[in-house]
């Protein structure tokens, strides 16, 4: 039985921490590689409907053959892994974005049935595709709006004297943009 000093980290815990770090790096690499594949590899843990990759599933993903272990997010969220987790989140986001584009491309607008109307299956596919596009657009609009608010706050808190900035921002805030208002 090994004897530990108070406050020291055991070798087992250090090894587990190193395994988690290596697993995060390997998962990031595998997801980035799979982003370019048309038939998505079986080892990528897509959700049940095969429409996206969830972060929870990525953290729970384990494979001895691929050399990755599962872990809880809170266990992996350390100073040492912070940069690697950001890379993993970026890889998952890019993968989901590419996957939605691929699914939209593969679900070509189906031909109308012989009566000229769409069947329930065709309508369901179209609704699914449109919902995916709406979700993507919503995320992009939120990011643009967040960046706009950060810029506006930055300019006002630093009291820029550049009148052109103020005029542009004032025009932007005073426009009655119905699309942005309906999204709120």
Residue 47's pLDDT is: 83
Domain boundaries, the chain: 12-94, 107-184
SS (H, E, C) the chain: CCCCCCCCCCHHHHHHHHHHHHHHHHHHHHHHHHCCCCCCCCCCCCCCCCCCCCHHHHHHCCECCCCECCCCHHHHCCCCCHHHHHHHHHHHHHHHHHHHHHHHHHCCCCCCCCCCCCCHHHHHHHHHHHHHHHHHHHHHHHHHHHHHHHHHHHHHHCCCCCHHHHHHHHHHHHCCCHHHHHHC
Residue 184's pLDDT is: 43
Residue 11's pLDDT is: 81
Full-model pTM: 0.55
Query: Running along the chain, 184 residues long, what does each successive block of 10 average in pLDDT?
Result: 69 86 91 81 83 88 88 86 90 87 66 67 89 88 85 76 68 58 46
pLDDT tens, 61-105? Answer: 898 888 889 988 888 888 888 899 999 999 999 888 888 877 777
Residue 25's pLDDT is: 92
């Amino acid at each position: 039985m090994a004897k530990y000093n108070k406050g020291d980290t055991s070798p087992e815990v250090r090894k587990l921490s190193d395994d988690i770090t290596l697993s995060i790096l390997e998962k990031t690499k595998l997801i980035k590689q799979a982003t370019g594949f048309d038939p998505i590899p079986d080892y990528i843990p897509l959700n049940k409907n095969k429409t996206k990759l969830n972060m929870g599933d990525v953290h729970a993903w384990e494979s001895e053959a691929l050399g990755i272990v599962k872990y809880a997010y809170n266990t992996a969220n350390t100073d040492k892994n912070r940069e690697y987790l950001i890379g993993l989140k970026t890889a998952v986001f890019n993968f989901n974005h590419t996957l939605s584009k691929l699914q939209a491309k593969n679900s070509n607008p189906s031909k109308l049935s012989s009566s000229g109307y769409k069947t329930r299956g065709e309508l369901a596919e179209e609704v699914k595709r449109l919902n995916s596009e709406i979700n993507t657009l919503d995320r992009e609009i939120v990011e643009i709006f967040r960046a706009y608010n950060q810029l506006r706050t930055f300019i006002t808190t630093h009291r820029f004297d550049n009148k052109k900035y103020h005029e542009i921002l004032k025009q932007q805030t005073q426009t009655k943009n119905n699309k942005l208002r309906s999204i709120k």
